[in-house]
Amino acid sequence: MSQDAEALAAKPEPVDPRGLNHRADLPYGCTPDHIFRAMEEFIDFLGFINAQLHSRGLDRLESFLMPANFSSIVGEFMTTTIPKYCPGLVKNRYHNGHPDLIPKGRFSGDAVQHAPEGIEVKGSRYLKGWQGHNPEDIWLMVFVFDTNGPRDKFLGIPPKPFRFLMVVGAKLTKDDWKFAGRSAQSRRTITASITKSGYDKMIANWIYRSSNSS
């Protein structure tokens, strides 16, 4: 594999400010610009990490982590960074609390095990089919991205830089979810999937789209 190709792929694609939808309706004083600035920080973070890994002859972060783990990193980074720019939100300090972001000062110690107020944040490689653990009334924000995964090298898929494809979000209700089934032999965690009604709500309220997100 070309070292030049790996070096190029280690530099994530910048977030394009022209892709912001300033008409997007966001809660708790959050704005598309707040989201944009958090995305820029992730690009800087990943670029720095991957440059260091590449200088030591190591694979990029997204190329050796399990896909679900890398998606979690994207989501956790956004959960931590958005409150830097949006004064109305804080990261939920309760261990595994839900949702990820909650209104600042609404709960004691800015920590709550479960509440209907706030924003749940997810990172995803997929343009649809997003999942959660339970059908519920919640404001959901999804950061969709494209990048290599651990199997790509063995499948002959060439190196490509990380890029955000789109960010969407909306207030969903229990009717916008359905439980995803599993076979009797499956050991995976039971999850709920967003239905077409939920998907349509989120796409209609898109926050960011790259020029090649379709």
Q: What is the mean pLDDT of residues 122-148?
A: 89
Contact assessment for residue 183 and residue 168, using Cβ atoms and an 8 Å cutoff: no
* Tens of pLDDT, residues 136-191: 889 999 999 999 999 888 888 899 999 999 999 999 999 988 876 554 444 455 67
* pTM (two decimals): 0.91
Give the C-alpha separation, 53 to 63, whole Å: 11
